[in-house]
Amino acid sequence: MNLVSPEFFCFFLAVFFLHWLLPARARVAWLVFASYIYYAWWDWRYTALLFSVTGASYLLGRAASPSRAAVERRAWVAAAVVLHVGLLAWFKLGARGADSLDALRNQNLTALILPLGLSYYTFQSLGYVLDVSRGARPAQGFLPYCLFVGFFAQITAGPIGRARDLLPQIEGPRAFDRARFQLGCHLIYWGLFQKVFVADNLNAVVASIFDASAADSSASALLGVYAFTLQLYADFAGYTNMARGMGMCLGFDLAENFRLPFFAQDVQEHWKRWHISLSEWFADFVYKPLVNLPLGYYKFFAAPLLTMLIMGLWHRFSLQMALLGLNYGFWIAVTIAVKLRTLDREPEAGGTWAAVRPWLNRFVTLHLVCAGFILLRARSLEQAGSLAAQILGSPRLTPQAGEMLGRMAFFAGPLVLAEIVEYRRGGAGSLSKLGPAARGLLYAGITLLLAEYGRFNTETFFYSRF
């Protein structure tokens, strides 16, 4: 049941109205039931796995309480790490040849398939055990914890919730709030636009380069990489906005997952703005412990390399994803080295260079990020290398490149314009604060574009495969 399908919107409306009609004490139970119905719609057999991970992490969280002896607590934490990482590795290594049940049936494959949302709910439940072992308040009951792990709005592709943020909202009282509901509806509609108008229409441009390998010039190859970067952002940010919007309609504030990432001035800042919930998870549980090791100056370079290597393998256990992580880890290490080198320097005076430098940094950062995304989308290392070599060839604007540029301008132009408006107005979410007339024009334009060009029944969310 895809989040942009008519079936899902009927499902969500039923969940929404019954949630607020039911007495407060029954709402968590209803949302748990609805979440498992949603998950079973994908494949009912994997609901047992979801329930097992939920139950195991709930018990491990109780066992890893700070009230226990340090040795015993560390043993239970180690057991949680082995269980969750081992389970993820088992499926990621075994899931070969198919990204979905349909692909598995159509190709008559017998390989293991990756359960929906496994990468997200294993990290969410493991993060819970680690947080509790560090002193966070544990769940006050198993039913609220089931919703914490399996909430249908975020289980497909995050954002990864933390115990300190989401559990108190689940366990505490919630009243319908009109302002929050309106913001939630805005996020759902804007996320839908990002997904079915921007991302899914750009997919044809991306596929012509990455799937058909039909780039006829360096300009076409470069535009294909730009198109994938925009597609990936619109796809993932669109899902996140829809998930956060549905959460708001039901009384929850889910974690922010994107904060204008293309305005980052270095690769380290980019990962603080992109997939924020995953970046913060790795920062808390991998990067900071590594930095605290007694390795001297070198830990500032080893820590980002190892952290980003693991993050790359989180996407998929392959050499290609390992190189993806090492690439970003290298540039983060370079960023840290530059910052350490200039730490004691006097701040630069104003002037033309001071005004231009941030935008030059953003331009360079964007291209470093795009270069890494080639590895994320390419079908093989050979294709990634071939595409990179083609991009570095002599620039030549061909009819194919001109057509690609026109399609990108039409389908991604509104998104780029919206990002600029949000940046100028003070940050992500500023579109929801436009005046009534401006918002009316925005929603009218979205509605017309969705009605004419929206692709509601084709592609799935790119990050759901991870």
Active site residues: 315
Phi, psi of 398 (to 5 degrees): -105, 170
Q: Are 329 and 279 in contact (CB under 8 A)?
A: no
Q: In 3-state terms, the chain is what percent helix, strand and coil (to 5)?
A: 75, 0, 25
* Three-state secondary structure call for residue 157: coil
Q: Find the Cα–Cα–Cα–Cα dihedral 44, 48, 54, 57, rounded to 10°.
A: -150
Identity of residue 318: S
Q: How far apart are CA 258 and CA 278, in angstroms?
A: 11
Cα-based distances in Å from 59 to 79, 142, 254, 285, 464: 11, 9, 24, 20, 28
3-state class (DSSP) for residue 258: strand
Which one, of 355, 353, 366, 356, lies nearest residue 416 by Cα? 366
3-state secondary structure of 274: strand
Q: 128: closest CA among 181, 93, 164? A: 164
* Cα 187 to Cα 193: distance, rounded to the nearest angstrom: 10
Query: Residue 18: phi, psi to the nearest 5?
Result: -65, -35
Residues linked to residue 274 through DSSP beta bridges, in sequence order? 258
Q: How far is CA 420 from CA 201, 412, 417, 431, 451, in A?
A: 21, 13, 5, 11, 25
End-to-end CA distance of the chain: 17
Contact between residue 383 and residue 374 where contact means Cβ atoms under 8 Å apart: no
Report how far residue 71's alpha carbon sits from residue 81's, in angstroms, rounded to the nearest whole number.
Answer: 15
Residue 135 falls in which region: left (phi positive, over 0), alpha (psi -120 to 50) or beta: left
Give the span between the Cα atoms of 199 and 186, in whole angstroms.
Answer: 18
Take residue 81 and report the two structure tokens written for it: 């790490």
C-alpha 63/C-alpha 169 separation (Å) is 23
